[in-house]
Amino acid sequence: MSNELRWNPVLGEWIIVASKRKRRPWRPETCPFCPGSSETGYGWDVKVLSNKFPALKTNPTVKVKSIDIYRVRPGYGYCEIVVETPIHEGDLCDIPLDKLKKVVDVFIDRYVRLGSDRKIKYVYEFRNKGEVIGVSLHHPHSQIYALPFIPPKIKKELRQARKFWKNRGKCLFCHIISLEKTIGKRIIYENKYFILFIPFFAMWPFETHIYSKRHLQSIDMLNDDEKYALADILKVTTKMYNLLFGFSLPYIMAIHQKPTDRKEYEYYHFHIEFYPPHRDRDKLKYPAGIERGAGTFTYDGLPEERAIYLRKACRKALNMFTENGYKCMGKVS
Ligand code: ZN
Ligand code: ZN
Ligand code: FE
């Protein structure tokens, strides 16, 4: 087995190459995350596990040497799993607020701890849900990749935000919030500290973003009130998605925050992005020739129209929460 990074000299980015991952189990019969399994034990609300089949390791073996522009680096890093609830079924929306706040605390703790390793440049926390996304285990969980480099998408965002900060003297993301508020067509939900909207520049049909209203760069900068507000908006967002078509909607959730390489990123802004692959109840958007081959996204329809459907599902979500005794902290736009 080997864990290495190979440089793509054509695109200028790293590929993580791990030879052992091919052997990871595909949807095993007994859940390894349920309480009482050999991995998890009993008596927990949120559990952090190290990935048994990690793409990155702290003692990586490299099988090939760099030759010329074919650079190879050890695949150094951490791959962790955050099991968010002992309950086997469901989504973030099914986790009570105080427990979900604990999940936020775990994201903070892992961001800080893994980021304190000098070799780690970026702690990427994300969540894959649903079989069409390729999830091998159904038990609710998120993942963390602590990377020895800043991934390309983040690099791009940093570059744009830095430029905007320099040219306009303010934060790009704060500016987007104010634009959304002025235009008002794409905001779906907001509470005191966070706002949920479908971006003007959405790439996925029902893509949504959550921005913190306060200008901060990483999840560890949230105060306690903001942590609860984040748990609230995560509950609302996932419930909304699951009510949109009346089935548990697959999605990718990506947490975007500043790198952990000890540099200054005052111009960047903490946010969370959701990409559900569905474009309709029974249709998926497949990134194909134009997206994969050219890197340009096509969007069928209009984000402003989809916002109407999302708001409708969001209103339903709030009503259902109220019926079940959870009072949401914000309101539908
Ligand atoms: Zn389970
Ligand atoms: Zn900002
Ligand atoms: Fe982002």
Nearest Cα neighbor of 257 from 245, 265, 249, 247 is: 265
CA-to-CA dists, residue 142 to 62, 106, 137, 138, 333, angstroms: 28, 11, 11, 11, 29
Nearest Cα neighbor of 32 from 132, 127, 141 is: 141
Q: So what's the pLDDT on residue 26? A: 64
1-42 pLDDT, tens digit per residue, is 889 999 999 999 999 999 876 566 666 778 999 999 988 999
Nearest Cα neighbor of 214 from 174, 187, 181 is: 174
CA-to-CA dists, residue 170 to 195, 197, 268, 306, angstroms: 19, 21, 10, 29
In the three-class reduction of DSSP (H, G, I as helix; E, B as strand; rest coil), residue 283 is classed as: strand
Asked if 209 and 263 touch (Cβ cutoff 8 Å), the reply is: no
Q: Is 209 a catalytic residue?
A: no
By DSSP bridging, strand 251-256 and strand 47-50 are unpaired
Considering the candidates 141, 269, 271, 278, report the single residue annotated as catalytic: 141
Q: So what's the pLDDT on residue 38? A: 85
Please identify every residue whose CB atom is under 5 Å from ligand 1, which is an ion. 31, 33-34, 88, 139
Strands annotated E in 194-332: 194-197, 208-212, 251-256, 271-275, 278-280, 283-284, 331-332
Per-residue pLDDT of the chain (333 residues; tens, 9 = 90+): 889 999 999 999 999 999 876 566 666 778 999 999 988 999 999 999 998 889 999 999 998 999 999 999 999 999 999 999 999 999 999 999 999 999 999 999 999 999 999 999 999 999 999 999 988 889 999 999 999 999 999 999 999 999 999 999 999 999 999 999 999 999 999 999 999 999 999 999 999 999 999 999 999 999 999 999 999 999 999 999 999 999 999 999 999 999 999 999 999 999 999 999 999 999 999 999 999 999 999 999 999 999 999 999 999 999 999 999 999 999 999
**Cα–Cα distance measured from residue 15 to residue 169, given in angstroms and rounded to the nearest whole number:** 35
Listed in sequence order, the residues at least 6 apart from 221 whose beta carbon sits closer than 8 Å to its beta carbon are: 270
- Rounded to 10°, the helix 152-168/172-183 angle is 80
The closest ligand to the CA of 139 turns out to be 1
Q: So what's the pLDDT on residue 25? A: 64
Percent of the chain with pLDDT over 70: 98
**Cα–Cα distance measured from residue 333 to residue 55, given in angstroms and rounded to the nearest whole number:** 41
Tokens read off for 77:
């890093």
Residue 157 sits at φ, ψ, to 5 deg, of: -65, -40
**Centre of ligand 3 from the C-alpha of residue 172, in Å:** 11
**Cα–Cα distance measured from residue 148 to residue 260, given in angstroms and rounded to the nearest whole number:** 10
**Centre of ligand 1 from the C-alpha of residue 88, in Å:** 4
Tokens read off for 223:
């105060």
The closest ligand to the CA of 174 turns out to be 2
Asked if 230 and 193 touch (Cβ cutoff 8 Å), the reply is: yes
**Cα–Cα distance measured from residue 78 to residue 113, given in angstroms and rounded to the nearest whole number:** 11
Q: What is the pTM of this model?
A: 0.96
**Cα–Cα distance measured from residue 150 to residue 260, given in angstroms and rounded to the nearest whole number:** 9
In the chain, helix, strand, coil percent, each to 5? 35, 25, 45
**Centre of ligand 3 from the C-alpha of residue 257, in Å:** 8
Asked if 190 and 331 touch (Cβ cutoff 8 Å), the reply is: yes
**Centre of ligand 3 from the C-alpha of residue 202, in Å:** 11
DSSP for 33-91 reads: TSTTSTTT-SS-SSEEEE-SS-SSBSS----S--BTTB-EEE-B-EEEEEE--S-SS--
Q: So what's the pLDDT on residue 53? A: 85
Q: So what's the pLDDT on residue 94? A: 97
Asked if 307 and 185 touch (Cβ cutoff 8 Å), the reply is: yes
**Centre of ligand 2 from the C-alpha of residue 188, in Å:** 19
